[in-house]
Structure 1
Amino acid sequence: MLSVNFPPPNFKIKKVEDKEQIWDPSRKKWVRLTPEEWVRQNFIQFLVEEKKYPASLISIEKTIRLGEMKKRYDIVVFKNALPWLIIECKEMNVPLSENVAQQILRYNSTMLAPYLIITNGREHFGWEINEGRGMSLTELPDW
């Protein structure tokens, strides 16, 4: 399991028609604050503030094609214009099961990133993919 200590949140949150929204500085827009979005925003803040990943190279919730299907990834960090790290976020009450690992592996079948992370905000697992094999990570790679 990865060691991830989220920094204290410093998010902008507002209510619109009884629904909370959070300002996403990466997408530069207000988005609905769901339990999964809370995990996503905390992880992005961790990447930028703690790990010093460049915010400009972090892509959030973009559509990719998996055969005939269209899917949306949660977070992808690019390095040298290529996918470098894919992060799949789940809300806190969703266990990080084999199904979640299979989901990120399907995404990576087209993106070919060397690092994969799954998180539910409490638990975080990661792998370095090298020659088709996954080796468990104990911490996120340094930028």
Structure 2
Amino acid sequence: MQVLKLPMYDYQLDEHSIFCLIRKKWIFLTPEEWVRQHFLNLLINHLKYPKGMFKLEHTMSYFKNQKRSDIMVLDREGKVFMLVECKAPKVKLNQKVVSQVATYNKILDAKYLSITNGMNHFIWEKGENDFEQIRDFPGYIF
């Protein structure tokens, strides 16, 4: 797999799978899953987000369509703190990807929205009227 612009960690691989930091089971290794696991490592081991506050590939309905968010981080009250859309490293992070996470957020109402392909990462914070891009990922609010 490709080296990413995310912190390295001691991941576990077998022939076709990676061991998930959250789900505690082997997940088929795709380029997107490679990015997801590295991004989880950033949030858990570097930004100290608690493992128990994550939902991965959460299914939701949007106008009778089933959608799945890649990474959802909840706050202590169970509200969505951050929503992250992961893409494979070769996928460009364009307006289509931003629109995808924004559509999910119409249902979930997260304080932070993020997109990553492992090479580039963007994050926005909810302001009074709209989301504003910020430079750094927030620490988890305890």
TM-score norm. by structure 1 comes to 0.91
1:62 to 38, 47, 58: 58
| Match in the other structure for 2:26 | 30
Determine whether 1:86 maps to 2:83.
Answer: yes
Which of residues 130, 136, 142 in structure 1 aligns to 2:139?
142
Aligned equivalent of 2:36 = 40
* Cα shift at 1:66: 0.9
Match of 1:114 in 2: 111
1:127 deviates by 0.5
Tell me the amino acid that sits aligned with residue 34 of structure 1. T
Q: 2: CA distance between counterparts of 1:134 and 1:74? A: 20
- Cα distance in structure 2, aligned partners of 1:121 and 1:139: 15
1:73 aligns with 2:69: yes
Counterparts of 1:67 and 1:117, CA distance in 2: 23
Q: Which residue of 2 aligns with 1:8?
A: 8
1:82-140 Cα offsets, whole Å, 9 max, x none, are 01100000000000000000000000000000100000001011101123401111000
Task: Provide the rounded CA distance (Å) in 1 between the counterparts of 2:7 and 2:101.
Answer: 25
Which one has a larger percent strand, Structure 1 or Structure 2?
1
Cα distance in 2 between the residues matched to 1:132 and 1:62: 27
> Which consecutive segments of 4 or more residues in structure 1 shift more than 2 A?
none
The number of residue pairs the alignment matches comes to 136
Amino acid at match of 2:6: F
- State the structure with bigger RCO (CA 8 A, min sep 6), 1 or 2: 1
Deviation at 1:6, TM superposition (A): 2.5
Look up the equivalent residue of 2:10 and give its one-letter code: N
* Superposition CA RMSD, Å: 1.3
Gaps of 5+ in 1: none
Aligned to 2:49: 53
